Structure 1
Amino acid sequence: MDLEKILEKGLVIFIALAAIAFSVSILFLVLMSAVKEKKKRARCTERVVAEVIHFTDVSFYDREKDTTYSERAPVYEYSYKGELCRCTGKCSGSWIKKKPAGTHVELLVDPENPRSFICPEEERHGRIQAIKGICIFVGAVMLVVLGIYLTKTYLESLSEF
């Protein structure tokens, strides 16, 4: 076997292993997030009606781009066993437009920690976002597979010359 063919196979194997490692790590992160959410859902059992008081900007720092950006998030106010709670919900762009300040929504709170809650309406929106993310992930995997195929085909065509 000559050196060129060894390099061709090595490149294809490297790309395939990188795609597999990337896919497994993304799958691991998604599963860990799902387990965390499932545990929180199991704890949040008490239903309360909360009012959207206002919206606040929640800042996030992106290390790769070295920039800070902010998103809008609802601030809920509700009472649980006499304790008044005011907490910030999750950021969700299109959902926010449908719930102006003063709107009442149902929350599920953790009886042991009333400030820990789940908003079923936010979760529904989150599931849609998750489905979009899965579609993007599958598309990315398909592009990697296509890249491997095209790389292999290109290298094979070079070896014919």
Structure 2
Amino acid sequence: MFSCPPDIASNNIRKSPHSAYSPTDTPGHALPVHGLFIYLSVIRRFPMGLDLYFIKRPAETTADTTRREQDEAVGYYRKFNALLNWIDANAGEVENCTDVPLTRQDLEKLRATLDRLTPENCHDLFPTTEGFFFGSQEYDDSYWSDVENLKQFVQQQLASFDFSTHRLCFHAWW
């Protein structure tokens, strides 16, 4: 019924010692952690939902098998549908289990959007979206917590990600 995200079930994606986020036992939240990448534990605890990954990949990789062996997860969010909506509208069409390449300019645009975000304009600048198992569409504490965590993640990637040697991809699984 559901397809598994890229090599998560087999744990083929390398775990990054510098990952910014990982899911917790609370659905819909992404919290800072110390480099853990989630795989089967999420599938067992939360079998249905929106899982969003940021994947670091060497720039020269092309073939699927080679690519996945060298993938490194650097970020994760659970049921943060506003992020999915923003990526789809600003960086490229998001489809289930398909990568969307992100550029430095995409991250800079995302940072600018997040920096301008207020309770008054969030419906326009960073709106939630509906979807089967996509989580809450409310602009509540969970939404603002995810926004703050995403701000930190984007700032960290802009400061440290080397776009000349690696590609950053957004991957959604629902």
TM bucket, shorter chain: under 0.3
1 or 2, which has the higher helix percentage? Answer: 1
Q: Give the TM-score normalised by the residue count of structure 2.
A: 0.21
Q: Which has the larger radius of gyration?
A: 1
- TM normalised by structure 1 equals 0.22
Higher relative strand content: 1
